[in-house]
Structure 1
């Protein structure tokens, strides 16, 4: 799985304001921030979490913190997990992003559903090239 684990994870402390989390997302062009205590994942805040908290519930983004809105029942996978194990964990937890941890439980990366879509696209392209190399050419009329 290491081929699709993004090791550059955008993270912040639980005390970070929602305004700062939103700015971090904008600066880093990401839709989620992993909330860490030290190096250990504690939760995730998504752009949707911020939108719902502020627009739907009227939460002040300057005074509310990541800890106030984060999904704190975080599911992680070992950075050495296989692809199917990660997909199973994502499916069972009904999440599109899952942090990967090292042997010490520290944040080592993140895998997103989009990463799997890109991987599948690459694999299908390679399969198509193999098939094309094996079939005779035909003319279009």
Structure 2
């Protein structure tokens, strides 16, 4: 039985990184998610990843709390310091990291800059 060669994050990740400025409103982020048909955006400033904002974050941390989505920033609601992975790491490591941290997606970061996202669906894709 032959083994498949390892796959690397850069081969399967979604590119480019879809991100918002930390001072963007939640409405701006939600509109971007709708336009891109995605459930999360990266929060980045000066080329550096600051957090991840999901549609669930908007719902639970803002809407459910009665916060005005035009008045609060993405940075105030996002999950700061997310678990990340590098583009040259193996897909198997991405899967292990997702499992270990109970997340369904990881920002792909190189030298502090967000490049894209790898999701559970990307990891499960056959080679």
TM interval, short-chain normalised: 0.7 to 0.9
Which residue is equivalent to 1:112?
A: 119
- Partner residue of 1:85 out of 93, 106, 111: 93
Which protein has greater RCO, CA pairs closer than 8 Å, 6+ apart? 2
Q: Which secondary structure does the structure 1 equivalent of 2:67 belong to?
A: coil
| Rg (Cα) greater in structure | 1
**Count of paired positions:** 119
Which residue is equivalent to 1:18?
A: 26
- Offset of residue 5 of structure 1: 1.1
Higher helix share: 1
Which residue is equivalent to 1:66?
A: 74
Q: Which secondary structure does the structure 2 equivalent of 1:81 belong to?
A: coil
- Offset of residue 116 of structure 1: 2.2
Q: Which secondary structure does the structure 2 equivalent of 1:59 belong to?
A: coil
Contact 2:43-2:51 at 8 Å conserved across structures: yes
Give the CA RMSD over aligned residues. Answer: 1.3
Which residue is equivalent to 1:3?
A: 11
Work out the CA distance in 2 between the residues paired with 1:70 and 1:54.
10
Structure 2 gap segments, 5+ residues each: 1-7
* TM-score (normalizing by structure 2): 0.86
4+ runs deviating over 2 angstroms: none
